[in-house]
A and B are shown apart, each in its own frame.
Chain A
Amino acid sequence: MLKREHKVSNISSEAIFAIPAMKPSRVIFASIFCLFLMIIDIRYESGTYIRSFSNDMLKPITFLTRFPLQIYENFNLFFSSRVNLEKKVQSLKEENLKLKATNQFMEKISIDNSKLNNLWSSLSIDKERFLISKKSFLSSNEYQPLLVLDINSRQVIKKDSAVVSEEGLAGRVSSVGFSSTEVLLVQDIRSSVPVISSDSSLHATLEGKGLGRNGKLKLISKTAKFSVGERVYTSGLGEIFPDGLLVGEVISVIDPVDSEFLEVEISFYSDPVKQDYFLIYKNE
């Protein structure tokens, strides 16, 4: 212990601390301020509004969070003799992503066609309505995971636009900043998605249960006949998500004795941790 850091005892050479304790009044004031912010956020969703612009300001930090991964990728690219090939593969991947997303529609459409139901909806599917967006940041918040996507400032994206990955529905745009947009993931506990099952054609609302967890269908009557393995798609009700987007599949149907509803668990196809690119479906 250096003498210039603290007073030092001449007997034991131990540091003598003489720092006054923190004033409780300041702690109480700060706590009240935080509680005020929390109430405002819960009541008026002020956090979402602030976050949409703070994401732009915090861009250097979110950029740095990807830095190790980027260094690793760039290092690999630098020593690779196939740089041009990589670029070509990248552009093909993007094109493939678009095609896969449209295929999700096509799969649903083939089912619809077989039932002579909802044929006209196929006419509204337009590949050009998809915007490719790169993942900027994904928070580790288990119950309310936050996905931030980079967008071009010239791109006009509206709130509540559907966000899809190559595997299925990822969520919807919850706020839009200047160069980034925030996505409310389907896994988020605040998320509710109107869905329809592929085989039984039953309508339901799918709610998220947190990142890495299965979703659950809300208030399903015990007479409903869901089968394990059948797929669920967006139903288009509520007019937030377009119909026919693949969401997930039924993995368990439990009939609890002490409840008047079935417990239907849905495994989400889209995994935001593993995906780097997403498609934003522009609402018209």
Chain B
Amino acid sequence: MNKSNKNQLWIYLSLVLAMIVDNFIFPESILQWKPLLTLLVLIYWNMALPDKVGILEALFFGLIMDLLNGSILGLHGLLFVLITYICQRFFYQFRVSPIWQQSVILFFLFFIFKMAFTFDLLDVSQGLNMADSLYLTNAFIFSFISSIFWVPTFILLRAFRRKKIII
């Protein structure tokens, strides 16, 4: 196996691992708050090695998330693709900013991500809207925890990249 394929394999492995952790069966109390590690890992690789991770990976892992999560097929895919594009478009600016600033940016990104799921695409519930206070609170806590989790994810993946991925 050549270096490029090996690197790619490590990246995919980290994404699969994150996806498995994301789908661990957690207690109900933290189910809505747990950070979306797959997206955090995807953002990291987009930022660290934008030439190694792209639209196809975002689309593939997004669709798998849709299948595992039971959401409308393509919704995670679309959001992953758009976030990948935003990360790659602004990765020069994002990468050089301090880690706390990155966390703040990710907080807003995750909040928008969570709010995308409130759209009543199936037209099934009259009471479902963005003013749902419980959902807003959950979205806020989810975004906050995800942004906090960015710091250890960043540090861990950077160590992993320096150790395993040789260009």
User: A: which residues have CB within 8 A of B?
Assistant: 4-5, 17, 19, 21-22, 24, 26-27, 30-31, 33-38, 40-42, 46-47, 50-51, 54-55, 58, 61-62, 64-66, 68-69, 137-146, 182, 189-190, 207, 209-213, 216, 271, 273-274
Q: With the chains together, A4 CA to B3 CA distance in Å?
A: 13
Partner of B138, one of A19, A142, A145, A189: A142
Q: With the chains together, A63 CA to B104 CA distance in Å?
A: 35
A37 / chain B contacts, CB cutoff of 8 Å: 63, 73-74, 77
> With A30-B55, A213-B134 in contact, do A140 and B78 touch (Cβ < 8 Å)?
no
**Band of interface residues on B:** 35 or more
A143 to B64, Cβ gap below 8 A?
no
A211 / chain B contacts, CB cutoff of 8 Å: 28, 31
Say yes or no for B68: interface residue by CB 8 A criterion. yes
B24 to A38, Cβ gap below 8 A?
no
Say yes or no for B113: interface residue by CB 8 A criterion. no
A69 / chain B contacts, CB cutoff of 8 Å: 25
Mask: chain B, 110-131; 1 = CB below 8 Å from A; 0 = not = 0000000110011011011000
B32 to A142, Cβ gap below 8 A?
yes
Q: With the chains together, A212 CA to B28 CA distance in Å?
A: 7
Q: With the chains together, A27 CA to B85 CA distance in Å?
A: 7
Closest beta carbon of chain B to A20's beta carbon, Å = 8
Closest B residue to A140 by CB, please name it: B31
A61 to B167, Cβ gap below 8 A?
no
B127 to A209, Cβ gap below 8 A?
yes
